[in-house]
Amino acid sequence: ARLSAARYGKDNVRVYKVHKDKETGVHTVTEMTVCCLLEGEIETSYTVADNSVVVATDSIKNTIYIKAKENPVDPPELFASILGAHFLDTYKHIHKANVMIKVHRWTRMVIDDKPHPHSFLRDGEETRNVKAVITRDSIHLTSNITGLTVLKSTGSAFHSFLRDEFTTLPEVWDRILSTDVDCSWTWKTFANLAAVQKDVALFNKAWTDARTITMRTFANDDSASVQATMYKMAEEILEAAPEVEKASYKLPNKHYFDIDLSWYKGTKNTGADAEVVAPQSGPNGLIFCEVSRS
Ligand SMILES: O=c1[nH]c(=O)c2nn[nH]c2[nH]1
């Protein structure tokens, strides 16, 4: 037998960082969960118990804290690149760093119509995520939004689909549509950290655009299917971000089924009369797409 792949590091490193503006007294907080996995000439630590090549995962955790102290943690695309580049610069036997960051929401409270200087709320378990793969000659970045749960109460249909002896689903022209958005966009390859720093303004703009595009198209599209609507969203992300090479979605179709109440005094509650509806935990549709530049 031989070692055919290996990477190791620290997962679930929770980091909070606060920026305190001295002039205005306004605090800005970031909370993230970091995973950092290293690859390189580490085979002997697996095959012959040679720990001399091991940067301890505890040291990786310590490094995450120090780099968060020394550097901006926003945008996460930049911080992930800084962190990954550190390991390659510091350890000549490490040749690749995989850095995954999940940024949690702390949205500034608005109290009496005023943004509060140091109070925030967790308005959803949605996270902004980055996966960075750093080598000595490239930085590959993929950004992501996940956990943004949306619903529309109309403006969605699904009909004219293939019908055969396995088909029982009625055609529908007006349905509830709900999903948990998982949207990713993959950047052009960056040559190095300097190239990422040069384009630093692109990352927050792309995240804002992807989030806005997703909700606007979800809301406004007269949806013929999950497939058709998500394709439009992905196309719009590519139009908004020229430095993004491809955009993808993974969308569960979280079904809401009509409840027939006609047994009770002939109560009309199906189709156009549906008001009380049964949200389903499963089964659920699961629809993927990836859209690239032609
Ligand atoms: O939007 C939808 N796409 C599908 O492929 C599907 N299948 N059943 N319901 C569906 N709704």
Provide the b/e sequence for 185-198 (b: ≥16 CB within 10 Å). Answer: bbbeebebbeebee
> In whole angstroms, what is the distance from residue 72 CA to residue 62 CA?
17
- The pair of structure tokens assigned to 163 is 């019908």
Whether 141 lines ligand 1, by a CB cut-off of 6 Å, is: no
Q: Determine if ligand 1 sits within 6 Å of the CB of residue 226.
A: yes
* Closest among 202, 186, 178, 201 to 234, alpha carbons compared: 186
User: Residue 112 is encoded by which pair of tokens?
Assistant: 């009496």
* Residues contacting 140, CB < 8 A, separation 6+: 132, 133, 186, 187, 189, 190
Asked whether 87 lines ligand 1 (CB < 6 A), one says: no
Q: How far is CA 226 from CA 150, 163, 177, in A?
A: 13, 18, 8
Answer whether 225 contacts ligand 1 (Cβ < 6 A).
Answer: yes
Report the separation in Å between the CA atom of 153 and the middle of ligand 1, taken as the mean of its atom positions: 16
Over the stretch 25-53, which tens digit does the pLDDT of each residue have? 999 999 999 999 999 999 999 999 999 99
Ordered DSSP codes for 163-218: -STT--PPPBSS--EEEEEEEEEEEPPBSSHHHHHHTTHHHHHHHHHHHHHHHHHH
Report how far ligand 1's centroid is from the alpha carbon of 161 (Å).
9
| 285 C-alpha to ligand 1 centroid (Å) | 7
Residue 65, CB half-sphere, CA atoms under 13 Å: how many?
9
Q: Which of 142, 52, 37 is nearest to 87 (CA)?
A: 37
- 152 is known as an active-site residue: no
Query: Residues 6 or more apart from 162 whose CB is under 8 A from it?
Result: none
Contact between residue 130 and residue 123 where contact means Cβ atoms under 8 Å apart: no
Whether residue 140 lies in the annotated active site: no
Residue in 158, 172, 173, 254 to alter for ligand 1 test, most ligand atoms within 8 A of Cβ: 158
Pocket test for ligand 1, best of 156, 159, 161 (most atoms within 8 A of CB): 161
Determine how β-strand 244-253 pairs with β-strand 256-258.
unpaired
- Residue 36 has, within 13 A of its CA and on its CB side, a CA count of 30
Is cis: bond before 75, omega within 30 of 0?
yes
Asked whether 273 and 205 are in contact (CB, 8 A), the reply is: no
Q: Cα separation of 103 and 130, whole Å?
A: 9
Q: What per-residue confidence (pLDDT) applies to 13?
A: 98
Provide the ipTM. 0.97
Q: Tell me what pLDDT residue 40 has.
A: 98
Each residue's pLDDT, cut to its tens digit, for the chain (294 residues) gives 999 999 999 999 999 999 999 999 999 999 999 999 999 999 999 999 999 999 999 999 999 999 999 999 999 999 999 999 999 999 999 999 999 999 999 999 999 999 999 999 999 999 999 999 999 999 999 999 999 999 999 999 999 999 999 999 999 999 999 999 999 999 999 999 999 999 999 999 999 999 999 999 999 999 999 999 999 999 999 999 999 999 999 999 999 999 999 999 999 999 999 999 999 999 999 999 999 998
Catalytic choice (10, 67, 102, 104): 10
The CA-based dihedral angle spanning residues 75, 17, 104, 196, taken in that order and rounded to the nearest 10 degrees: 10
What distance lies between CA 59 and its chain's CA centroid? Answer: 27
User: Any catalytic annotation for residue 135?
Assistant: no
CA of 172 to the centre of ligand 1 (A): 10
Q: Are 151 and 218 in contact (CB under 8 A)?
A: no
CA of 151 relative to ligand 1 center, distance in Å: 15
Q: Which of 37, 135, 61, 148 is nearest to 95 (CA)?
A: 135
d(CA 70, CA 130): 20
